[in-house]
Structure 1
């Protein structure tokens, strides 16, 4: 599986509680879609949210977000290398 960083825009004012709720929703369905949600970061001022997920494809990442509440990403980037 590959890691993917997805980006959501337009989420100005997101709170830590809302970010945590989104994470919990993703964890609840990750097995159903065959993904592993790893981490999320947010900048409430710019409204940008980043999610790191391990999955087989961008389509699986998209499915994970659709099934966990509908906050689909604006961008999905493969990040196969890390240090």
Structure 2
């Protein structure tokens, strides 16, 4: 498994409830792809969202978002825990 930080640069109409709902949908779908969306952070003012995800590869992580709610990340960056 690899660890990724995905970045959504501008989600229109972002609210705490909306991002929580999208995350819940990710959790429903992720098992089909061997993915674990671990945590997310967001800023309502800018519409930015960051998701920390364990996945076999970047495409599997993106596929979960695509299927769960359609909000595919603008960037998907491999990261290491410090």
Q: Please tell me the TM-score bracket, short chain as reference.
A: over 0.9
Distance in 1 (alpha carbons) for counterparts of 2:41 and 2:32: 23
Distance in 2 (alpha carbons) for counterparts of 1:82 and 1:10: 25
- TM-score, with structure 2 as normaliser: 0.93
Residue 20 of structure 1 corresponds to which residue in structure 2? 20
Question: Deviation per CA, 1:35-77, whole angstroms, max 9, x where unpaired?
Answer: 0010111111111100011001110111011011100000000
CA displacement at 1:22 relative to structure 2? 0.7
Residue 78 of structure 1 corresponds to which residue in structure 2? 78
Q: Is the 8 A contact 2:3 2:53 kept in 1?
A: yes
Distance in 2 (alpha carbons) for counterparts of 1:38 and 1:22: 13
- TM-score, with structure 1 as normaliser: 0.92
Residue 62 of structure 1 corresponds to which residue in structure 2? 62
CA displacement at 1:82 relative to structure 2? 1.3
SS in 2 for 1:21: helix
Distance in 1 (alpha carbons) for counterparts of 2:63 and 2:42: 21
Computed over aligned residues only, the root mean square deviation of the Cα atoms, in angstroms, reads: 1.0
